[in-house]
Amino acid sequence: MNAFLPQALEKQWEWFDLCHPDWRFVAKHELHRKHGDVFAVISPGCLSVEVADAEVAAEIISRSRYDFVKPTWPYSLLNLFGDNVLSSGGATWRRHRKATASQFSNTIHKQAWTKSLVLGQELLSIWTNNHATVSTVANIAPDLEFLVLRVILSVGYGATAHLNYRTDVSGVPDTGRTSRFAAAMDQVLSNLTKLLMLPNRVLKHGPSHWQSVYESATDVRTFLEDLIWTETQKQKRNLTVAGDSQEANNVLSGLVRQGICSPKGENGREEQSHLSDEEVMGNIFILAFAGAVSTADSLKYSLVLMALHPDIQEWLIQDIEEAINSSGEDTTNPLEWKEETVLSRLVAPYCVMLETLRHYPPVTGINKSTGDKEQLVTFNGSLVLLAEDVNVNMSLTALHHNPKYWGKNALVYCPQNWDTRCACDWAESTSNAPEMSDTTAGTPHVRNPVKGSFLAFSDGARGCLGKRFAQVEFVAILTLIFRQYRVELAVRETESLEDVRRRTQMILDNSASTPTLSLQTPVPLQFMRRN
């Protein structure tokens, strides 16, 4: 808007930039460059503070949850299938967090690695017509979403089945109940905005597509109820035979088993530390939603960006080659790669994930509130008093593009900057930082940016539960693809390569939050089998 205004009026109309629904993604650090790394937005409805200073962001996130609370009302709509760790607060949240966080064990992560390779290989066979030399995929989005979802359903729910893509993709219809559930869950996640915004009675009696979404949500609820009941009976039988020493083999079984083994209080009743069946249902749905959507979007962005930057893709391929060849594993059969010997060697794929998340995080802001008390924070060496009921928003896209931490080329996509074996364009304080000491993927040679400057996984007590799960899944799938293929932008007969590159960059720039940040237009890609 400001581009069309006379210079004298431009400053008066700067507020108009904030009216864009994705203004943080569009503006990145630009508004903070004009107004400072911390500025206030005052409106009749509320007072908000926008933060692009890493020290302030780190302090707010690390402070007691009683100082800066996470407003739960925006997430209450996500209680589609029951209360969960994302939508709850206070003592209820602590109970949800304790129950869910303990389920992400090394066993679960190893299963995520193995299942990602198995299902990823099936997808590659479908995309490339059984590994043809050259294949074009018009839209990678729905298949990647389905792939990531199937990994989560298998490892998280124990709903094991082959990928068996929808009939219009593979030509092979699948009538198995697990696959019908996966298709229903896929439709629920793809149409989550409708389910969140429209009452069931409107969906049920609306247009045919709305009715289909309503029926899918009903099918998902029925399947989850049956799954929980079946798992409960199974766990009771197992406990009778083997006691409580067995380790849960998926997230659902762990949550159910936790409820069965809940300790007894003095009055003989179970202490309310476990989750009810409805809360188990709410959590396994929200874990599927958060995991499937964010990981699939990161993979979509990464494949497009690798096609857009062939020099970076070549660096990625060379690193994968060196990692696989030095692992001692069978280099010709990805299904034989072991997580414990291969994953820690895959530096470049992990760097690609981090850099993609720096530019395209699933959410563009982390919202906190001062609640009913005034709070003090430190900014530029001075204490600043924030009044009660002030919204404090950590702008991820502003933090992730702040030249103070990421250097003068902060807007440039460059995964090599994360690799300690490569030269770095970041600011001196960031580029000289030690390697990540808390890299949950177990990958060495990865730079650790200034605390608070990179928040794609959030941080603190309410940080991402499935961080390592997502890292393992992403690295496995990306490695699998580029170990066997190069990816290029598909060029139409009427276009030049430069035209396609410009169009692709425009599609990336026009990403929107629906509800997580994602591509709004498909980018056709060509898969070239490597020698």
Q: Is 135 helix (H, G, I), strand (E, B) or coil?
A: strand
What is the rounded CA–CA span in Å between residue 85 and residue 231?
A: 21
Structure tokens at 193: 């905005």
Report phi then psi at 365, rounded to 5. -155, 150
What is the rounded CA–CA span in Å between residue 376 and residue 385?
A: 5
Give all strands (DSSP E) within 197-255, no chain letters.
none
**DSSP letter, residue 422:** S
Question: Which residue in this structure is represented by tokens 């010997």?
Answer: 341
What is the rounded CA–CA span in Å between residue 500 and residue 506?
A: 10
Three-state SS sequence of 307-368: HHCHHHHHHHHHHHHHHHHCCCCCCCCHHHCCHHHHHHHCHHHHHHHHHHHHHCCCCCEEEE
Report phi then psi at 41, rounded to 5. -115, 115
What is the rounded CA–CA span in Å between residue 82 and residue 181?
A: 18
**DSSP letter, residue 495:** -
Structure tokens at 174: 């699948």
Question: Which residue in this structure is represented by tokens 């857009």?
Answer: 308
Task: Find the angle CA(281)-CA(468)-CA(81) to the nearest 5 degrees.
Answer: 15
Task: Count Cα neighbours of 238 within 13 Å in the Cβ-side half-sphere.
Answer: 18
What is the rounded radius of gyration, in angstroms, for the C-alpha atoms of the chain?
24
Structure tokens at 75: 């997430």
What is the rounded CA–CA span in Å between residue 482 and residue 525?
A: 13
Question: Which residue in this structure is represented by tokens 């498909």?
Answer: 522
Strands 391-395 and 47-51: parallel
What is the rounded CA–CA span in Å between residue 370 and residue 277?
A: 33
Measured N-to-C along each axis, helices 277-308 and 347-359 cross at an angle, to the nearest 10 degrees, of: 100
351 annotated as ligand-binding: no
Binding residues for heme: 464
Binding residues: 464
